[in-house]
Amino acid sequence: NAGVTQTPKFQVLKTGQSMTLQCAQDMNHNSMYWYRQDPGMGLRLIYYSASEGTTDKGEVPNGYNVSRLNKREFSLRLESAAPSQTSVYFCASSLTGLGGYTFGSGTRLTVV
């Protein structure tokens, strides 16, 4: 089915470990986004890519890096995981920055 695919779905890391969350969309969308969701906090934007070749910081970028590998793929990297990064991470995409987003099913990350 067309949509946004995130991998992995679940991950447990030890403090200080690194990992990359993968996101791919097959809808030929231009814009892609990474959000984190924490209880009572809603969705907070980490980074986004308005178009291939560009990336920008969102509300909570500290501790994260991103790569827009091509038009389809937008990865999120944690270089040195911290317990505060325990969260559910969602990737989303949109045809333009003005349209509704299509979300992936999320990655539940626990840092111990």
Partner 1 sequence: AQSVTQPDIHITVSEGASLELRCNYSYGATPYLFWYVQSPGQGLQLLLKYFSGDTLVQGIKGFEAEFKRSQSSFNLRKPSVHWSDAAEYFCAVGRNSGNTPLVFGKGTRLSVIA
Q: In this complex, which beta carbon is closest to partner 1, that of residue 44 or of residue 72? A: 44
Determine if 95 is a binding residue for partner 1 (CB under 8 A): no
User: What string of H, E and C letters represents the secondary structure of the chain?
Assistant: CCCEEEECCEEEECCCCCEEEEEEECCCCCEEEEEEEECCCEEEEEEEECCCCCCEECCCCCCEEEEECCCCEEEEEECCCCHHHCEEEEEEEECCCCCCCEECCCEEEEEC
Q: In this complex, which beta carbon is closest to partner 1, that of residue 14 or of residue 42? A: 42
Stretch that binds partner 1, among 18-26, 68-76, 77-85, 92-100 (CB under 8 A): 92-100
Interacting positions 9-68 with partner 1 (CB under 8 A) = 31, 33, 35, 40-45, 48, 50-51, 58
By CB under 8 A, name the binding residues for partner 1.
Answer: 4, 31, 33, 35, 40-45, 48, 50-51, 58, 90, 92, 96-98, 100-106
